[in-house]
Structure 1
């Protein structure tokens, strides 16, 4: 094997591994959130955003969940960049940065969680404001990434993925806007929970698609 050939092979394997990070990031994140949601005393998944799980004694679990998800998402963004996406990859990377910032600035307690917090508690601390900024940065990047990737798929004739990408971006924007203006109502929290699952599904599908493309390219050149 030539030196150049070896270099190309290593680069290809690295890209596939990075894209694999995007495939597993969402299922891992959701599984950890659900595991906490059904075991943490006082937490109601229809009333409390997942970010509140970073409070209380076991709050380190959700903080670590944000860190792992953020690192995996940034890795996926590098893989997407190597697959040929430029702005889409940068925006996915911004989403990953938002997750890391969410770990650094935990959400304030609220709506009776953790146990002992008044049900009407709604004070916003400096860290709580930092969490809101982190969400705005990360979710803004995610929404824009969906729309940019939708345009990419339209340009190469992949209409189903284009529609799914665009729909994910629009629905996530609507859910985030509803959560921000809904004062923590059950419908807005449930809608946002579903939108988060949808967004992670989108990232996993895009990374899996680009990973298959990389595999096909490798087979053609073998």
Structure 2
């Protein structure tokens, strides 16, 4: 005798079928699927290839400085716009399910924060780009504060999105993905918190946490694509 499907899971499947009938849903979800891996790959490639950059000391945002800084600026803006577009796909695919309202809102806020973090660039600091004096500048300009505010918005929204996704998966009976959602959000929460305290290797823990959470949102988008 076949067990009856979880009622919330059945609603999720119904939402996916409805989303599939709307034009543009697949490209929108694909945008969310691509955004995390794109930003992560380009950031890490630059971290390995840019002279003077040290991920144990410099945040990935610092790559927006120097002759090749335009590449990281574009990386932030493009990945952020893809994320905002992807949030529309998530809204369609998750409609009527637990977390179906707040997950896309939070993902959209995370994407807007990324765009803003690309527009407002941190000042050169701590020896990067090459030739910059060691340590932090005596005073930070307004663009650095704007960048930090944008980053705080983006990270807070991304952490919350992961926890809301955990609720979604728990309610649909997918305990494994619920646990992975919690793990992804917590990785960013702890990584960012450690960096904010000035802890050793803070930029590295922040990068690891951010990339983990970003890739998880992309993985969820891939899963939803497969249900369409």
Matched, 1:121 2:136: yes
* In 2: Cα distance, 1:22 partner to 1:156 partner: 21
**Aligned-residue CA RMSD in angstroms?**
1.6
Matched, 1:97 2:112: yes
* In 2: Cα distance, 1:71 partner to 1:9 partner: 21
The equivalent of 1:165 in structure 2 is: 181
* 16-25 vs 90-99, which moves further: 16-25
Matched, 1:37 2:51: no
* In 1: Cα distance, 2:61 partner to 2:44 partner: 12
Residues 9-57 of structure 1, C-alpha deviation per residue, up to 9 Å, x if partnerless?
A: 9853511111111111111111211221222111112221110010112
SS of 1:77's partner is helix
Residues 127-171 of structure 1, C-alpha deviation per residue, up to 9 Å, x if partnerless?
A: 000001001111111011111111111111011111111111122
The equivalent of 2:35 in structure 1 is: 25
* In 2: Cα distance, 1:90 partner to 1:100 partner: 16
Specify which of 152, 165, 171 is matched with residue 155 of structure 1: 171
* 163-172 vs 60-69, which moves further: 163-172
Structure 2 runs not aligned, ≥5 long: 1-17
Larger helix fraction of residues: 1
Residues 54-75 of structure 1, C-alpha deviation per residue, up to 9 Å, x if partnerless?
A: 0112111100000110011111
Residues 158-191 of structure 1, C-alpha deviation per residue, up to 9 Å, x if partnerless?
A: 11111111111122111111111116x32x2221
Specify which of 130, 135, 142 is matched with residue 146 of structure 2: 130
Classify 1:127/1:109 alpha carbon distance in 2 versus 1 (closer, same or farther; 3 Å).
same
Normalised by the length of structure 1, the TM-score is 0.87
Classify 1:86/1:179 alpha carbon distance in 2 versus 1 (closer, same or farther; 3 Å).
same
Matched, 1:59 2:73: no
* In 2: Cα distance, 1:73 partner to 1:25 partner: 6
Number of corresponding residues? 205
Normalised by the length of structure 2, the TM-score is 0.85
Runs of 4+ in 1 over 2 A off after TM superposition: 8-13
SS of 2:22's partner is helix
The equivalent of 1:112 in structure 2 is: 127
Residues 201-221 of structure 1, C-alpha deviation per residue, up to 9 Å, x if partnerless?
A: 20111101111222xxxxxxx
* 56-65 vs 28-37, which moves further: 28-37
* In 1: Cα distance, 2:21 partner to 2:126 partner: 48
* In 2: Cα distance, 1:13 partner to 1:94 partner: 24
